Amino acid sequence: MRGPIDRLSLQTKLLISFIVVIVLATTIGYLFINHSVKRAFSDFTVRSFTIQDQILLELIISYYRRTGSFDRVIEILKESPREVPVLLIDPDGKVVYSPDERYLGRHLSEEQLREGEPIILPNGDVWRFVPYRASPVRASLEEGFLKATRRALVLAGWAAAAAGIIISLFLLRHMTRPLRRLDRAAKRIAAGKLDERVEIKTSDEIGHLASSFNEMAESLERAEEAKRRMIADISHELRTPLTALRTAIDGLRDGLIEPGEKTYAALQNRVILLARLVADLHQLALADAGRLSIERRPTSLEGVIDGILETIGVQLEDSGISLDRSIEPGLPPVDVDRQRIEQVLLNLLANALRHTPEGGRIRISAEEDDQGQVSVCVCDTGPGIKPSDLPRIFERFYRADEARTSEGGAGLGLPIAKALIEAHGGRIWVENPDDGGACFHFTIPIANDGPPPG
């Protein structure tokens, strides 16, 4: 919810706090000074005894004898129409009567007490009677001083407030300038100018905000660029088979192409390719959204590998490529979605097959690694991957071969394999071993418990 404070600009908020602090400081200062000045000036001098004092003292003592307490004495003194400039001090040394209320409850100094006349009660308590004089000069001095202080404080308050406002305006303009710049840049980015950056080099919070802002803009720009490239790639990949289909259909209609088994098979092939491309794109879109459904079950990896080798066995033989299969004995079952891992292996083996020359060799191996996962490698004796292609090989639509040959896929096989392995919590990477060829590695988790693999 937006409170009234949220509606104010930063500048107004800071200005208000400056002023509140100034007003508080001057008020507190004023109260302190007022108090201490009053204390400092409210002193008195003990005067010497007069006849009247003597009479009063006698009276007090006789009153006390009659009533047995000083309460009545104090009452009478208070009711006296004329101020009686004396203090009555109780045995604790505290003033219990004084015509000037400021002295009530105060303790007198030893020296002042000595000047008074003790009244010693039968029970040993000592009360005192002290005549005093408050200097009239002091009283007027006090008034004058307080007035001057008050005026000075009000003036100082105004001056501080004015200085505060000027300084804060200056400071705030300085502080909020980068914020205004950030605001303008954010608006330009919102309007689609993704190459917008802010130049703020301060090392305060605003500087940090600015560098986070620039990072955000950078990643937005990269994402936008990737999206643009992706759309271009997709339309290119779709256009090639669609053009071929269209030409073939036009030819059939115009009688330029003979309708027959071979023609229909070729047409069907193109449609299958298109459907596969669309399915791959769909799978990648699901992976991006984190919605790839992975149905894990404890699975024997050896079973998966053997199943696949059986399917591609004929192809291997036809290409004159030998196969080296090495699976660690007693390999524990893995916790995977069998179909997805088959898809990954098929992809890697198809790539290896395509890049391995006749007489070459493909090696597939699986073993438990020291991190409690199973590590799988698919290596070949082909040309390997150019070092410059290594970092980009798992990008979508990336094909190392210069020409986009129709023989290969669209360059979506490795990105899909990466998405599938990562959805299993594993890792996939490639390296060129020293003895040539390419080696694709991936890891998948071991099934901890559960039923033994079927």
Ligand X SMILES: Nc1ncnc2c1ncn2[C@@H]1O[C@H](COP(=O)(O)OP(=O)(O)O)[C@@H](O)[C@H]1O
Q: Which residues bind Mg ion (CB under 5 A)?
A: 351, 409, 413
- Decide: is 298 part of the binding site for ligand X (CB under 6 A): no
- Residue 404 CB, shortest distance to ligand X, in Å, is 9
Residue 401 contact, options Mg ion, ligand X, none, Cβ 5-8 Å cut-off depending on partner type = ligand X
**Both structure tokens of 298:** 């404890």
Residue 345 contact, options Mg ion, ligand X, none, Cβ 5-8 Å cut-off depending on partner type = none
Judged by beta carbon, residue 243 or residue 405, the one nearer ligand X is 405
Residue 217 contact, options ligand X, Mg ion, none, Cβ 5-8 Å cut-off depending on partner type = none
- Residue 201 CB, shortest distance to ligand X, in Å, is 42
- Decide: is 400 part of the binding site for ligand X (CB under 6 A): yes
234 φ, ψ (degrees, to nearest 5): -60, -45
Q: Which residue has the tokens 């079973």?
A: 303
Judged by beta carbon, residue 332 or residue 408, the one nearer ligand X is 408
Judged by beta carbon, residue 180 or residue 276, the one nearer ligand X is 276
String of DSSP letters for 166-219: HHHHHHHHHHHHHHHHHHHHHHHHHTT-TT--------SHHHHHHHHHHHHHHH
Q: Convert 63-91 to b/e letters by CB count within 10 Å (16 or more is b).
A: bbeeeeebeebeeebeeeeeebbbbbbee
Residues 6+ apart with CB under 8 A from 351: 413, 414, 440
- Decide: is 409 part of the binding site for ligand X (CB under 6 A): yes
- Residue 188 CB, shortest distance to ligand X, in Å, is 37
- Decide: is 321 part of the binding site for ligand X (CB under 6 A): no
- Decide: is 360 part of the binding site for ligand X (CB under 6 A): no
DSSP letter (8 states) at residue 296: -
Q: Give the whole-angstrom CA distance, residue 380 versus residue 357.
A: 10
Using the contact rule CB under 6 A, the part of the chain among 104-112, 298-306, 321-329, 399-407 near ligand X is 399-407
Judged by beta carbon, residue 200 or residue 352, the one nearer ligand X is 352
What angle (nearest 5°) sits at the alpha carbon of residue 115, between those of residues 132 and 133?
Answer: 10
Among 382, 423, 443, 446, binds ligand X (CB under 6 A): 382
Using the contact rule CB under 6 A, the part of the chain among 15-23, 50-58, 60-68, 377-385 near ligand X is 377-385
- Decide: is 410 part of the binding site for ligand X (CB under 6 A): yes
Judged by beta carbon, residue 178 or residue 411, the one nearer ligand X is 411
CA distances from 445 to 297, 338, 369 (A): 11, 13, 10
CB atoms within 10 A of CB 36: 10
Judged by beta carbon, residue 116 or residue 382, the one nearer ligand X is 382
Q: Give the whole-angstrom CA distance, residue 212 versus residue 197.
A: 11
Element (H, E) at 266: helix 261-288
String of DSSP letters for 3-26: -TTTTS-HHHHHHHHHHHHHHHHH
Using the contact rule CB under 6 A, the part of the chain among 62-70, 139-147, 176-184, 405-413 near ligand X is 405-413
Q: Position 57: which residue type?
A: L
Among 196, 413, 421, 443, binds ligand X (CB under 6 A): 413
Q: Give the whole-angstrom CA distance, residue 76 versus residue 404.
A: 119
Q: Convert 423-437 to b/e letters by CB count within 10 Å (16 or more is b).
A: bbebebebebeeeeb
Cβ atoms of residues 354 and 314 within 8 Å: no
Judged by beta carbon, residue 413 or residue 437, the one nearer Mg ion is 413
Binding residues for ligand X restricted to 328-347, rule: CB under 6 A = 347
Residue number closest to ligand X, CB atom:
409
Using the contact rule CB under 6 A, the part of the chain among 170-178, 322-330, 408-416, 441-449 near ligand X is 408-416
**Helix 51-67 × helix 71-79 angle, to 10°:** 140
Judged by beta carbon, residue 182 or residue 309, the one nearer Mg ion is 309
- Decide: is 380 part of the binding site for ligand X (CB under 6 A): yes
Judged by beta carbon, residue 142 or residue 389, the one nearer ligand X is 389
Judged by beta carbon, residue 128 or residue 355, the one nearer ligand X is 355
- Decide: is 411 part of the binding site for ligand X (CB under 6 A): yes
Using the contact rule CB under 6 A, the part of the chain among 97-105, 185-193, 240-248, 351-359 near ligand X is 351-359
* # chain residues binding ligand X, by CB under 6 A: 20
- Give the footprint of ligand X on this chain (CB under 6 A): 347, 351-352, 355, 380, 382, 385, 393, 398-401, 408-414, 438
